[in-house]
Amino acid sequence: MAQKKLFWVWVTASLLFRLLLIYFPKNLNLGSRPEVATPLTSLRRLAEGYWLKQSSMSPYAGSMYHGSPLLLSTLGPLTVKRIKGQPSHLICSLLFVIADFVTAMLIRATGQNLQLAYRQSLKALKVATSEILSAGDIAALIYLWNPLTVVTCVGYSTSPIENLMIVLTLYGACSRLAPLAAFGWVISMHLSLYPAVLIIPVILLVGYGPDAPPRKLFLKGNFGTDGNDPSNLSCYQGNEVTTHKMLPIRPFLWKPVLHFIFWAFIWSVHVLVLCSISLKQYGGLWEMLKRTHGFILTVEDLSPNIGVLWYFFAEVFNFFTGFFLMVFHVNILFMILPLAVRLNHRPCFLAFAYILISSMLKSYPSVGDSALYLGLLGLFINELADMQFSFFLFCGYIGVSLLSPVMHNLWIWRGTGNANFYFATGIAYACLQIILVVESIGAMLNHDRTLRKKSTECP
Amino acid sequence: MNRDETQNRTVEMAFEVGKSKPGRSKPVDIFSLLFLILVSNLLWRSDAIGSSSTSSSSSSVVHTNNWAVLVCTSRFWFNYRHMANTLSLYRTVKRLGIPDERIILMLADDMACNARNKYPAQVFNNENHHLNLYGDNVEIQGAADNGRHLPGCYSFLSVHSPGVLAIGSSMKGENSYSHHLDSDVGVSVVDRFTFYTLAFFEKLNMYNSASLISLFNSYNPSMLMSTAYYRTDLYQRSLDKVPVTNFFGSVMETIHADSAYRGFSVNGSRVAQIKMVHQADSPADRRTLIDGTLQDQISGLNSKERDVGHCPMSSLLNKLNDIEDVDTLVNYGLIIMISMVTITTWLSR
């Protein structure tokens, strides 16, 4: 009980901290930092797009706004409302704080779901459950107190809404709520293209259920739940298995998957109809697809960010841009199938891996993406307890977060540096993410091996 | 003492280089200069509503809305002459009448305030130093360099749109040479092509009607040490009838208007806009205010023409065209979607 109270105290404190930063008297100017606001997520560009729409021009004119027209209809009027004496875009910032809070609660609920499944599977395998931390609470707190999340929330970026939709998808899928998962998936794919790869973990979640140890561990089945005479059971490593009772393996249920696909279809049709109504005077759906998803895929804007694509495409000859665009995007797609094959028993962790990979290789990354996957990392804190290089990664993230604005300042404002200074921090950031994904997947597979060893030990 | 020594050494080295091999300038930036001036003239003079490549009838007041885009793509100190070329042409077009508001000048590097410049805040295009290209009349509002390369689309060989006149300082395979080396500054200060172009323009003023063909005829291949080449297949008018000031100059016309100037006001759903409408029949360019109804009619007409007879979706959209307020419809749609999500989630628990 005391722990629960402490949890809520910390949650409230984080929300108050965000409000404090919003009402900070000095202008923090976070909305103009390239790490926080990208051409896709900047609220200033959304305000500009809304103004263009109000002036009866296409919101995509002038290559300023590249987001969804639905976001324009919801957030646009809020950017215009100004209350005297309050900071600018106050209502939008409050909305983002609420979005962060809801995301944290959904992460917590997902964590509780996963933990329940974990305990059940450990009990089924008759593995002694050691001290298990409450992963959901820890993950929610990590998400709320991560400085990167705070900066994204306060920094006039629409990333909190995208993160909310992705977490909504995962929560819906873990709880087998097909309409909710479908809604989250469709909207998150509509807002930024990359969550489309989450369809695979979502279908696995909806079909199989939450994360569990590999299915073949359950097949070894030298445990009966009816307390047989131990001498009858064999303790061999798996060659001869004499079982009285086969434990039910998790079957793949097709019905929830079909429900999910059905609802996804309904929501996507609805979204496309709304978008075409919204843009009927300015070119319709094709214009929207060209300017949003086309913009993401063709990487038209080469202004610096914490990614690696801008520097590369600034140097590539025009003749080769198509080729290299394909290479970069296929890089993400290539990783999907092998990971899905290897981690199909842990779909939630698979989703985390996909989110990490796509946020590393996407066209316009920002710290909002890293806020999301660092929060989701907390969900697996029990399984990833033995991860190597955790301290190095922690220090690396802090170092990059501090150095990147400094290098940007040196380059753009003082002129004593050049683009290489800033890009070096970008490369370091990408390296850290690579190490994180490799080590976390390795640690998870190690954990599965430990479970297998423990489950086949003689009692 | 030390500075002078290094200066002399640099001068000697540059002089030797100058002797043996006159500095070659990349063909690209010379192309880009003039190409852009010529193209932009035609781009910005086109009709706002739709039809491009208007050829105006009267030649005397045609060049009233010229824009100039001057681009220098060469960085570093040894490309001083490219900067000087660009600034010389900037001065020329200003002198022939194009105001600063219609000139876009892009320089890749800063020569005037370069640490190696012996004459800080001064850029010369001749070794007699008579003309400071960075003088009082120059308006520089700040440079930005985000490390981008300008795309290589300025090769005029790949232009296909009509109404473009392109000129280059040398043919394919040839080099464009610098004119002379300024031993005081230490680098070549102007290119041959620019030197002779400026020599031609210095004799003109903004009311002169020297034609384009006289400009092209003034280029002497033996003096330029390259063949200045111009491409006229995309440009319809004959060159001896077109004055150079059509492209390089601008004459401002003032119109007396009796009515008071009214800015646009926002009241409710009607927004009056400022729209630049170039009326082809009026001899002078005029900026007119039209209000929202006209704009709606125009856009409604366009969309109706486009949507008719494609698919059932378009007939539905046409019906929805009648509903004026699109925004509230979209908002209702969003509310419906979110409520459906909550209801179906609740039901499938």
* Span B234-243, pLDDT tens digits: 677 777 777 7
Return the DSSP state at A413.
I
As a whole number of angstroms, the distance between CA B184 and CA B119 comes to 10
Give the pLDDT band (50/70/90) at residue B268.
very low
pTM reported for the whole predicted model: 0.63
Q: Name the range with the highest mean pLDDT among A369-373, B26-30, B284-288.
A: A369-373
B251: Cα separation from own chain's centroid: 18
Mean pLDDT taken over chain A: 89
Cβ burial, residue B231 (10 Å; 0-12/13-18/19+) = middle
Nearest to A180 among B146, B333, B341 (CB): B341
ipTM of the complex: 0.84
**pLDDT top residue among B21 and A373:** A373
8 A C-beta contact, residue A179 and residue B345:
yes
Q: Does B344 touch chain A (CB under 8 A)?
A: yes
Q: Which of B75, B289, B310, B327 best tests the A interface by mutation, with the highest count of A CBs <10 A?
A: B327
Distance from CA of A213 to the nearest CA of B (A): 26
From A213-222, B54-63, B83-92, the region with the lowest mean pLDDT: B54-63
Distance from CA of A93 to the nearest CA of B (A): 20
The pLDDT, as a whole number, for residue B279 is 42
**Is the confidence at residue A208, as pLDDT, over 60?**
yes
As a whole number of angstroms, the distance between CA A312 and CA A316 comes to 6
8 A C-beta contact, residue B270 and residue B292:
yes
The alpha carbon torsion through A291, A292, A294, A299 (nearest 10 deg) reads 100
Tokens found for residue B281? 């029949």
What is the dihedral sign for C-alpha A318, A322, A325, A327? negative
Type of residue at A149 = T
From A202-216, A237-251, A322-336, B126-140, the region with the lowest mean pLDDT: A237-251
Distances (CA, A) of B289 to A139, A290, A366, B260, B281: 57, 32, 42, 12, 18
As a whole number of angstroms, the distance between CA A151 and CA A133 comes to 28
Type of residue at A345 = H
8 A C-beta contact, residue B205 and residue B236:
no
Give the phi and the psi of residue B270 in degrees, each rounded to 5.
-85, 125
With CA atoms as reference, report the closest residue to A173 among A354, A366, A367, A8: A354
Helix axes A419-455, A390-408, angle to 10 degrees: 160
As a whole number of angstroms, the distance between CA A11 and CA A108 comes to 12
Give the pLDDT band (50/70/90) at residue A221.
low
The pLDDT, as a whole number, for residue A290 is 92
Distance from CA of A177 to the nearest CA of B (A): 6
From A147-161, A266-280, A347-361, B61-75, the region with the lowest mean pLDDT: B61-75
Return the DSSP state at A306.
S
Give the pLDDT band (50/70/90) at residue A439.
very high
As a whole number of angstroms, the distance between CA A352 and CA A439 comes to 13
| Residue contact A419–B334, C-beta within 8 A | no
The pLDDT, as a whole number, for residue B66 is 77
Convert the pLDDT of each residue in B289-336 to its tens digit.
444 444 444 444 444 444 444 566 676 666 656 556 788 889 999 999
Give the pLDDT band (50/70/90) at residue B190.
confident
Tokens found for residue A121? 């599977």
Distances (CA, A) of B172 to B72, B156, B165: 20, 11, 17
- Which residue carries 């994360």 as its tokens? A211
Give all strands (DSSP E) within chain B, no chain letters.
24-25, 68-71, 103-106, 166-168, 176-181, 188-191, 229-231, 266-267, 270-271, 273-275, 288-290
Cβ burial, residue A283 (10 Å; 0-12/13-18/19+) = middle
DSSP H helical ranges for B25-153: 27-44, 80-95
Give the pLDDT band (50/70/90) at residue B102.
confident
As a whole number of angstroms, the distance between CA B23 and CA B180 comes to 9
Give the pLDDT band (50/70/90) at residue B272.
very low
Nearest to A314 among B149, B152, B330 (CB): B149
Q: Does B331 touch chain A (CB under 8 A)?
A: yes
Convert the pLDDT of each residue in A335-384 to its tens digit.
999 999 999 999 999 999 999 999 999 999 999 999 999 999 999 999 99
Ramachandran class of A209: left when φ > 0, alpha when ψ lies in -120 to 50, beta otherwise: left
Q: Count A/B contacts: CB-CB distance under 8 Å.
A: 81
Q: Which residues in chain B (108-167) have CB-CB distances under 8 A to chain A?
A: 146-149, 151-153
Give all strands (DSSP E) within A209-253, no chain letters.
none
| Residue contact B337–A276, C-beta within 8 A | no
The pLDDT, as a whole number, for residue A319 is 94
Nearest to A73 among B303, B334, B340 (CB): B334
Distance from CA of A352 to the nearest CA of B (A): 24
**pLDDT top residue among A125 and A189:** A189
Burial code of B110-127, b = ≥16 C-beta within 10 A, e = fewer? ebbeeeebeeeebbbbbb
**Is the confidence at residue A314, as pLDDT, over 60?**
yes
As a whole number of angstroms, the distance between CA A446 and CA B3 comes to 66
**Is the confidence at residue B172, as pLDDT, over 80?**
no
| Residue contact B333–A54, C-beta within 8 A | no
**Is the confidence at residue B189, as pLDDT, over 60?**
yes
**pLDDT top residue among A191 and B92:** A191
8 A C-beta contact, residue A126 and residue A223:
yes
8 A C-beta contact, residue A94 and residue A153:
no
Give all strands (DSSP E) within A93-203, no chain letters.
none
Cβ-based contacts of A69 with chain B (< 8 Å): 330
pLDDT, average across residues A25-39 = 87
Q: Which residues contact A152 (CB under 8 A, 6 or more apart)?
A: A36, A159, A160, A366, A367, A368, A371
Cβ burial, residue B50 (10 Å; 0-12/13-18/19+) = exposed
SS3 A157: strand
Distance from CA of B149 to the nearest CA of A (A): 6
8 A C-beta contact, residue A110 and residue A167:
yes
In chain A, % of residues over pLDDT 70: 93
As a whole number of angstroms, the distance between CA B238 and CA B165 comes to 11
As a whole number of angstroms, the distance between CA A363 and CA A321 comes to 13
With CA atoms as reference, report the closest residue to A199 among A257, A267, A252: A257
* Number of C-beta neighbours around residue A318 at 10 A: 10
From A402-416, A435-449, B77-91, the region with the lowest mean pLDDT: B77-91
Return the DSSP state at B211.
B
Q: In terms of DSSP bridges, do strands B103-106 and B68-71 run parallel, antiparallel, or are they unpaired?
A: parallel
Q: Does B298 touch chain A (CB under 8 A)?
A: no
Convert the pLDDT of each residue in A246-290 to its tens digit.
555 678 889 999 999 999 999 999 999 999 999 988 888 999 999
Tokens found for residue B145? 């360099």
pLDDT, average across residues A303-318 = 92
In chain B, % of residues over pLDDT 70: 49
The pLDDT, as a whole number, for residue B253 is 60
- Report the alpha-carbon angle B280-B284-B290, nearest 5: 70
Cβ-based contacts of B152 with chain A (< 8 Å): 317-318
As a whole number of angstroms, the distance between CA B287 and CA B285 comes to 7
As a whole number of angstroms, the distance between CA A202 and CA A181 comes to 8
**Is the confidence at residue B25, as pLDDT, over 70?**
no
Give the pLDDT band (50/70/90) at residue A101.
very high
The pLDDT, as a whole number, for residue A19 is 94
pLDDT, average across residues B176-194 = 78
In chain A, % of residues over pLDDT 90: 72
Return the DSSP state at B124.
B
The pLDDT, as a whole number, for residue A133 is 85
As a whole number of angstroms, the distance between CA B287 and CA B36 comes to 25
The pLDDT, as a whole number, for residue B161 is 65
pLDDT, average across residues B33-58 = 40
Cβ-based contacts of B345 with chain A (< 8 Å): 172, 177, 179-180
With CA atoms as reference, report the closest residue to A215 among A207, B228, B181: A207
With CA atoms as reference, report the closest residue to A75 among A55, A95, A56: A95
pLDDT, average across residues A109-134 = 87
SS3 A349: helix
The pLDDT, as a whole number, for residue B67 is 81
Give the pLDDT band (50/70/90) at residue B255.
confident
**pLDDT top residue among A43 and B26:** A43
**Is the confidence at residue B154, as pLDDT, over 70?**
no
- Please tell me which residue of chain A has the smallest CA distance to B317: A277
Tokens found for residue B260? 């008071």
Type of residue at A62 = G
As a whole number of angstroms, the distance between CA A107 and CA A127 comes to 26
Distance from CA of B341 to the nearest CA of A (A): 6
Q: Which of A164, A281, A410, A421 best tests the B interface by mutation, with the highest count of B CBs <10 A?
A: A281
Q: Does B61 touch chain A (CB under 8 A)?
A: no
| Residue contact A277–B341, C-beta within 8 A | no
